[in-house]
Structure 1
Amino acid sequence: MIKKADFFLQGGRSGVLLIHGLTGTPAEMRFVGKGLHRAGFTVHGMQLAGHCGDTADLLKTGWRDWYRSVGEAADELRGKVDHMFVAGLSMGALLALKLAADRPNDVDGLGLYGTTFVYDGWAIPRIAKLSFLLPLVTPFGIGRGRSFQETEPYGIKDQRIRDRIASSMLGGDSAAAGLPGNPWPSLSQFYRLAFRMRREISKVRAPSLIMHAAEDDIASPRNARKVARGVRGPVETVLLKDSYHMITVDQERDKVIERSANFFGRIAAGRLGEPVAYPAAAAFASD
């Protein structure tokens, strides 16, 4: 069932499920969705449970609810296509990994954009970098009404795009731009998912396209390296030089579209092992 902020674009027999991030919205996946549709894919940009409303709506849900909504959207799309690819941004990438680990026969490939296990980017305040401790305190009701507020540059390097999205977000249009802060209980749920995926990532056998910003302000490239080292399927990595965290809307979104369409297309055609018609992908340097 299509929710209020979902979008669905009918294309060919290869489909892509797009998953937005925590406190985000399907709109942050729309540029990529339209580009993949132009490349011939059927695309479903889904809405996570509890999102696109107010903070109270989000607080009624946890990571299992978010993951359940991913599974429901995957069931719906899988029945319409021969090949299903799943791509996610930030926490959405963790949910994509979780689906691939649990349902290896359904997920033919992954697009992992700005994968986030921990908020450790250069723009994260020092106190917020300790948010991984929240699962230890929120079960006691601590921080129920508190949030870490979004701050400049909001994951976006392009000033024009940043101003437009910030205006919608700060103006209360959560369906268009998401919430302006991360409630502590929701962050606690995010970390519960992240801790689980650290343990389960070796179950992922699907081919993975890992794309991450070199200057990610929210989640450093260490998060991407964790994926590249942890999954057990074929991996292609792309380090973007002119974007921040929200690579699906930022200055290099066309590269995200191009590389994703190429990657998914080669898998669908059984040609994943062929040379890529791009300059050599940047590798993630070691810690």
Structure 2
Amino acid sequence: MSEQYPVLPGAEPFYAENGPVGVLLVHGFTGTPHSMRPLAEAYAKAGYTVCLPRLKGHGTHYEDMERTTFDDWIASVEEGYEWLKQRCNTIFVTGLSMGGTLTLHLAEHHPDIRGIVLVNAAIDIPAIRAGLAGGGELPRYLDSIGSDLKNPDVKELAYEKTPTASLLQLAALMEQTKAKLDRIVCPALIFVSDEDHVVPPANAQLIWDGIRSAEKEIIRLSNSYHVATLDYDQPVIIERSLQFFAKHAG
């Protein structure tokens, strides 16, 4: 399936080739690399090799997204992971929202990943389950879920509509990922916003309880909503994740 629409300005992927330690960054559902770009640039500036791919069907038009499956999104991150493997001997993964779900999926299948950083990662959104199980005819498109930010001066580059077909894919991805959390043993840094209108903050504890990592930490963000990577707590996320990489890079 090829995309029919051009990539939106600002939604381009980001790559930086530096040292032997790499970081893969994964953006969220209906979002674009734009939401992770400040982190990617900070990591690159700190000397890491960085890969921030654009997930298939994202960053163009929601009709493109509607035709993709969660396997397409997994393929996008696997491709980025392979790009890093050719250049680095140590790899970390950082993901926002569904990017966090995909980060968990990667860690379940690649035990050599050195550590993961999750920002408001999603493995259980009851509202989606309830909406999809409600019976009756669902509209083809729902309202946008993008740009849930506390800072009124910042806007996330995301789709203005959410394809219902894509929500079904997200639900399946979360279910599959949640079932295999006990495969994860690498160090994990889990950021969670106290107030999030997209992913219930309780997801952080579900992930914490599910993974078998000996080293895991939850950091609460008190001044950001869902897209915390673009919100007031962005400096905290950058600083603490860089400390995490430095500690575990060996």
TM-superposed CA distance for 1:181, in Å, is 2.4
Contact 2:124/2:175, CA 8 A, preserved across alignment: no
Q: Specify the SS of the correspondent of 2:58.
A: coil
Matched, 1:158 2:138: no
Q: Specify the SS of the correspondent of 2:229.
A: coil
Matched, 1:187 2:167: yes
Q: Determine the structure 2 residue equivalent to 1:145.
A: 140
Q: Determine the structure 2 residue equivalent to 1:132.
A: 129
- Report sequence identity in percent: 30
RMSD between aligned alpha carbons? 2.0
Q: Which amino acid aligns with 2:101?
A: L
Q: Specify the SS of the correspondent of 1:182.
A: strand
TM-superposed CA distance for 1:79, in Å, is 1.1
**1:2-45: CA deviation from partner (whole Å, max 9, x where unpaired):** x9611102222111000000110001000111111122211111
Unmatched segments (≥5 aa) in structure 1: 121-128, 166-176, 270-287
Q: Specify the SS of the correspondent of 1:210.
A: strand
For 2:181 and 2:131, the matched residues in 1 are separated by 22
Q: Which of 174, 178, 190 is the aligned partner of 1:210? A: 190
For 1:63 and 1:211, the matched residues in 2 are separated by 24
Q: Summarize the alignment of residues 57-68 of structure 1 with structure 2, pairs less than 5 Å apart.
A: 57-68=64-75
- TM-score, normalization: structure 1? 0.79
The count of aligned residue pairs is: 240
Matched, 1:243 2:250: no
TM-superposed CA distance for 1:148, in Å, is 3.2
Unmatched segments (≥5 aa) in structure 2: 1-5
Q: Specify the SS of the correspondent of 2:230.
A: coil
Contact 1:15/1:42, CA 8 A, preserved across alignment: yes
**1:215-242: CA deviation from partner (whole Å, max 9, x where unpaired):** 1222222001111111111202100111
Matched, 1:39 2:39: no
Q: Which amino acid aligns with 2:115?
A: G
Q: Specify the SS of the correspondent of 1:160.
A: coil
Matched, 1:257 2:217: no
Over alpha carbons, which structure has the higher Rg? 1
Contact 2:100/2:118, CA 8 A, preserved across alignment: yes
- TM-score, normalization: structure 2? 0.90
TM-superposed CA distance for 1:103, in Å, is 1.2
Contact 1:135/1:189, CA 8 A, preserved across alignment: no
Q: Specify the SS of the correspondent of 1:211.
A: strand
